[in-house]
């Protein structure tokens, strides 16, 4: 069998990324290559991991149409995970389990990182598997895979946990590898202090030379802070030139961080950017069981499901809820049952933490802006699909993140009754299952709305 590399692959990727207007997807597909098997008239797409393969499979019809158009014929397409690739971008992206198995046996001294924030304690689900695998890859081989690595996502979804897990791993298992963790806020404060005490040379040495792996958490704090952004840019550039690993966490995608230096955005985009999302119910259940074991609390499967249903938007709040439920049950000397959980939840002790009073008008405004339609059209009854989809999305988001009752929502959205709200919301849930890009788009909208 003879295989030829296909020279127009970049053209296919450009067309695909235009079609699937999703910045993350664009990053991932750039890690792919392709070959053409003339005898079988088959394009073989080589991808670095099963995660990217699944995403490409989900967009197979678009991919096929683009390839057929460019090749001017009907071709078969095969998507294969390329474990043997020698390019750094693909071969370094091994499965998490393999990395853990390959861990050296020597264990160094205890590290300064938060002990429970380890890879072992991190539950992997479809919401975070890409970020987790990238962090593990970077921890096992600093500066030999993705550099810089940029992780973003809303609060409470595990970014700090992942950064600290890299710190724990490197400081425990890699000889002669110095790892430094700093938050954006502390970087700023240390810089201000260095100026005040005229010790900027010490500051620069610390952040340009004295480490092999630099972990910068919550980088959004630096945005708009002129001089310290400049310092950070030089620190990152010099680290990069000296082959030192940089990992960054932020609440937003680099391009969306207001006031962030354009040079920093470009620098981040040159590495790998991946996100952590809200976990699916299965992942939430696994997190609940883990936390319950850690706290020595017995939670039945029914009760665990109840908690997972009630707390869906942040792992931090999910963990807080389990701790509170454990405390209440021991205080009241009763066992944890779904009814007991519901009772506590409705006593507002817990519910307010998870579902804040979100302004529905703000949701409507944001969705209208995103889809370029007027509020009158969103709240009207025109069945044109340009209005129906945004209308359903706004209802879905409002139902998901506000604590308004269904009949309140029906009134606000000028719908007939609560079943119209349920119907619209279920429709979007179904669509998201079939269309991962729509899901990403809605996740971004929710993140954006929750920022206020
Ligand atoms: P972020 O930095 O994104 O705001 P954190 O990393 O501080 O969030 O996570 C909040 C809490 O949730 C931490 O206690 C962390 O251990 C826990 N957590 C988040 N994601 C996971 C996960 N996938 N598995 C286990 N614990 C998690
Ligand atoms: Mg954090």
- Please give the structure tokens belonging to residue 287: 């997190």
Buried/exposed 205-221: b ≥16 CB within 10 Å, e otherwise: ebbbeebbbbbbbbbbb
Structure tokens at 447: 């993140």
Cβ contact 133:97 at 8 Å: no
Q: At 347, is the secondary structure helix, strand, or coil? A: coil
The Cα 60–Cα 19 span in angstroms is 12
- Cβ atoms of 412 and 360 within 8 Å: the answer is yes
Q: If you search the block for the tokens 């310092």, which residue do you land on?
A: 231
Evaluate the CA torsion angle 186, 190, 191, 193 in order and state its sign.
positive
Query: Which tokens sit at 6?
Result: 């296909």
Query: In the prediction, which pLDDT does 177 show?
Result: 92
CA 240 to centroid of chain Cα atoms: 24
Return the structure tokens found at 109.
Answer: 């001294």
pLDDT in tens, the chain (452 residues): 566 777 778 888 878 877 776 656 666 677 788 888 888 889 998 887 766 777 788 788 888 898 888 888 888 999 988 765 433 333 344 444 444 444 444 455 556 899 999 998 999 998 999 999 999 989 988 998 789 999 999 999 999 999 999 999 998 888 889 999 999 999 999 999 999 999 999 999 999 989 999 999 999 999 999 899 999 999 999 998 899 999 999 999 998 899 999 999 999 988 899 999 999 999 999 999 999 998 899 999 999 999 999 898 899 999 989 988 998 888 888 899 999 998 888 775 555 444 556 789 889 999 999 999 999 999 999 999 999 999 999 999 998 888 778 888 999 999 888 888 989 999 999 999 888 888 888 988 888 787 66
Ligand 1 probe mutation, 132, 294, 315, most atoms within 8 A of CB: 315
Q: In this structure, what are the phi and psi dihedrals at residue 373, rounded to the nearest 5 degrees? A: -125, 165
User: Which residues, in sequence order, are bridge partners of residue 78?
Assistant: 44
Q: How far apart are CA 42 and CA 5, in angstroms?
A: 12
pLDDT of residue 21: 65
Cβ of residue 160 lying under 6 Å from some atom of ligand 1: yes
- Output DSSP code: residue 106: -
Alpha carbons 399 and 108: distance in angstroms, whole number: 49
Query: Cβ(250) to ligand 1 under 6 A?
Result: no
- Interval 277-290: pLDDT, tens: 999 999 999 999 99
Q: Give the pLDDT confidence score for residue 193 in this predicted structure.
A: 94
Gyration radius (Cα) of the chain, Å = 24
The pLDDT of residue 4: 74
Give yes or no for residue 159 CB within 6 A of ligand 1. yes
Least Cα distance to 62 among 446, 445, 436 occurs for: 436
pLDDT at 247: 97
Report the DSSP beta bridge partners of residue 152.
Answer: 250, 275
CA of 285 to the centre of ligand 1 (A): 14
Please state, in angstroms and rounded to a whole number, the distance separating the CA atoms of residues 380 and 2: 59
Ligand 1 center–CA 249 separation, angstroms: 13
The pLDDT, as a whole number, for residue 365 is 92
Closest by CA position to 276, among listed 167, 92, 117, 124: 124
CA of 162 to the centre of ligand 1 (A): 8
- Nearest partner of 103 among 132, 70, 71, 136, judged by Cα: 136
Return the bridge partners of 42, or none: 37, 76
60-71 vs 50-58: helix crossing angle, rounded to 10: 80
Q: Are 361 and 398 in contact (CB under 8 A)?
A: no
Can you tell me the distance from the alpha carbon of 178 to that of 214, in angstroms, rounded to the nearest whole number? 9
Ligand 1: does its nearest atom lie under 6 Å from the Cβ of 277?
no
Q: What burial class does residue 308 get, using C-beta atoms within 10 Å of its C-beta: 0-12 exposed, 13-18 middle, 19+ buried?
A: buried
- Residue 128 in contact with ligand 1 by CB distance below 6 A: yes
Residue 19 · residue 51 · CB < 8 Å: no
Beta-bridge mates of residue 246: 214
d(CA 29, CA 121): 30
- Closest ligand 1 atom, residue 163 Cα: 6
The helix/strand count (H/E) of the chain reads as 23, 9
Query: Which of 136, 285, 293, 316 best tests ligand 1's pocket when mutated (most atoms within 8 Å of CB)?
Result: 316
- What stretch of H or E contains 416? none
d(CA 133, CA 119): 10
Q: How far is the CA of 183 from the centre of ligand 2 (A)?
A: 9
Q: Cα(277)–Cα(447) distance, rounded to whole angstroms?
A: 9
Question: How far apart are the CA of 211 and the centre of ligand 2, in A?
Answer: 21
DSSP state of 362: H
């Amino acid at each position: 069998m003879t295989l030829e590399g296909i020279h127009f692959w970049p053209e296919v990727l450009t067309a695909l990324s235009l079609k699937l207007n999703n910045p993350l997807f664009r990053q991932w597909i750039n890690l792919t290559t392709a070959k053409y098997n003339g005898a079988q008239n088959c394009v073989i797409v080589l991808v670095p991991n099963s995660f990217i393969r699944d995403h490409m499979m989900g967009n197979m019809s678009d991919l096929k149409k683009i390839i057929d158009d460019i090749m001017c014929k009907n071709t078969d397409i095969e998507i294969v995970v390329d474990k043997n690739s020698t390019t750094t971008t693909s071969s370094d992206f091994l499965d998490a389990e393999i990395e853990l198995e390959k861990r050296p046996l020597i264990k160094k001294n205890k590290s300064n990182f938060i002990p429970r924030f380890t890879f072992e304690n991190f539950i992997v689900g479809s919401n975070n598997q890409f970020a987790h695998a990238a962090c593990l890859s970077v921890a096992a081989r600093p500066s030999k895979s993705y550099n810089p690595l940029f992780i973003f996502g809303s609060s409470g979804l595990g970014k700090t946990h992942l950064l600290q897990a890299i710190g724990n791993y490197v400081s425990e298992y890699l000889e002669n590898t110095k790892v430094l963790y700093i938050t954006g806020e502390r970087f700023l404060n240390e810089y201000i202090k260095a100026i005040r005490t005229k010790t900027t040379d010490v500051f620069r040495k610390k952040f340009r030379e004295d480490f092999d792996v630099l972990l910068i958490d919550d980088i959004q704090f630096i945005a708009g802070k002129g001089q310290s952004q400049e310092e950070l840019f030089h620190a990152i550039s010099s680290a990069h030139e000296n082959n030192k690993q940089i990992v960054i966490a932020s609440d937003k995608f680099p391009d969306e961080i207001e006031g962030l230096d354009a040079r920093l955005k470009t620098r981040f985009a040159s590495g790998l950017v991946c996100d952590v999302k809200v976990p699916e119910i299965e992942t939430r259940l696994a997190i609940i069981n883990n936390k319950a074991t850690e706290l020595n609390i017995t939670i039945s499967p029914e009760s665990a499901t109840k908690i997972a249903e009630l707390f869906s938007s942040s792992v931090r709040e999910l963990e807080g809820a389990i701790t509170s439920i454990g405390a209440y049950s021991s205080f009241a000397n009763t066992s944890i049952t779904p009814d007991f959980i519901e009772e506590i939840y409705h006593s507002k002790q817990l519910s307010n933490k998870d579902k804040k009073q979100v302004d529905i008008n703000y949701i409507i405004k944001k969705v209208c802006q995103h889809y370029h339609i007027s509020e009158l059209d969103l709240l009207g009854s025109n069945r044109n699909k340009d209005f129906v989809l945004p209308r359903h999305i706004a209802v879905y988001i409002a139902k998901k993140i506000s604590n308004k009752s269904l009949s309140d929502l029906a009134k606000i959205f000028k719908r007939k009754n609560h079943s119209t709200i349920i119907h619209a919301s279920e429709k979007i849930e179904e669509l998201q299952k079939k269309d991962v890009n729509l899901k990403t788009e809605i996740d971004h909208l929710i993140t954006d709305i929750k920022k206020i």
